[in-house]
Amino acid sequence: MATTACSKTDAATVQTLLQGVFERYGLPARINSDNGSPWGSPSAPGHLSSLDVWLIRLGVRSSHSSPYHPQTNGKIERFHRSLKAEVLRGRTFDSLAQAQEAMQRWREIYNHHRPHEALAMQTPVQHYRMSARPMPTTLAPIEYAERDHVLTVGWNGFVKFQGHKLRLSSALHRLPVALRPDDLHDGCFDLYFCHQRFMRLDMNALTASN
């Protein structure tokens, strides 16, 4: 668990902080977040954000809670509640450095000294294991199977397929995506970016609506 006091929480800032965490502790298998900025696309849930794209390129699976259902992320919501109650509520800080110092003291207690019911009254540090997947120095090339229909995403996240103009995500601009046919359902395709399926397309429904 990493805690950092930030003056802003835009995608570039969060990505820089995550990179430092990954370089120190290794890559997670998955990150689940809400649909709020900068993690998701609040105006279009299901569309990939720039953070999603970066995480997927690293080989991390990115997933999101159901819109308007924060209980999907119950563990992190419980963590936030503890952080607010024990560090932030009713306090003011003269600087980000002072806030960071307070969070660091609390982080030590939370991870090393406080027993957790979910861990059979043990501490998180007793269960922590560093990831075996190191942060890569360069992103791996994007490759797809021969049977995939590979398209490069254009301006504003659009692609053209079988005469239809489809909106995917502007974060995928100039990147290749794959439409993988579903052998059991004629006219249906799963859309992939690298290893991750992020959308399903039914050409029969599109044709019927035109």
* pTM of the full structure: 0.87
Domain extent at residue 74:
11-126
Q: Domain check: are 117 and 157 in the same one? A: no
pLDDT, mean over the chain: 90
Q: Is the peptide bond before 38 cis (omega within 30 degrees of 0)?
A: yes
Q: Is residue 97 part of a domain?
A: yes
Tokens 């044709």 belong to residue: 207
91 and 162 in a single domain? The answer is no
DSSP 68: T
pLDDT in tens, 49-100: 999 999 999 999 998 887 666 666 777 788 888 999 999 999 999 999 999 9
Average pLDDT for residues 153-167, to the nearest whole number?
Answer: 93
In this structure, what token pair is assigned to residue 124?
């998180």
The three-state secondary structure class of 82 is: helix
C-alpha–C-alpha distance, residues 54 and 12, integer Å: 11
Beta-carbon contacts of residue 72 (< 8 Å; ≥ 6 apart): 32, 65, 66
Instruction: Tell me the backbone φ, ψ of residue 34, rounded to 5 degrees.
Output: -85, -170
pLDDT score for 37: 84
Domain presence at residue 144: no
> Is residue 141 domain-resident?
no
Q: What percent of the chain has pLDDT over 90?
A: 72
Give the bridge partners for 98, in sequence order.
none
**Domain at 71, CATH number:** 3.30.420.10
Alpha carbons 29 and 131: distance in angstroms, whole number: 9
pLDDT tens digit sequence for 108-117: 999 999 998 8
Above 50 in pLDDT, residue 28?
yes
* 140 assigned to some structural domain: no
Same domain assignment for residues 183 and 88: no
The helix (run of H) or strand (run of E) holding residue 171 is none
Q: Which two tokens stand for residue 42?
A: 């609040």
Residue with tokens 């922590």: 128
Q: What is the mean pLDDT of residues 143-151?
A: 96
Place of tokens 């299901």: 46
| 198 and 153 within one domain | yes
Count the Cβ atoms, other than its own, within 10 Å of residue 54.
19
90 plus 172 within the same structural domain = no
- 30/107 same-domain check: yes
Same domain membership, residue 155 and residue 118: no
**Confidence band of 43 (pLDDT split at 50, 70, 90):** low
The residue-averaged pLDDT of 1-25 equals: 91
In a domain, 134, yes or no: no
Residue 193: is its pLDDT beyond 80?
A: yes
Question: Which residue do the tokens 């974060």 mark?
Answer: 171
> For residue 161, which phi and psi values (nearest 5 degrees)?
-145, 125
The rounded distance, in Å, linking the Cα atoms of 75 and 93 is: 27
Q: Are residues 84 and 167 in the same domain?
A: no
- Is residue 136 a part of any domain in this protein? no
Statement to judge: residues 78 and 20 lie in one domain: yes
In the sheet that holds 188-193, the strands lie side by side as 149-152, 176-181, 188-193, 196-202
Do 156 and 58 belong to one domain?
no
Q: How does residue 208 score in pLDDT terms, banded at 50, 70 and 90? A: very low
Q: Does 197 map to a domain?
A: yes
Q: What total of structural domains would you count in the chain? A: 2
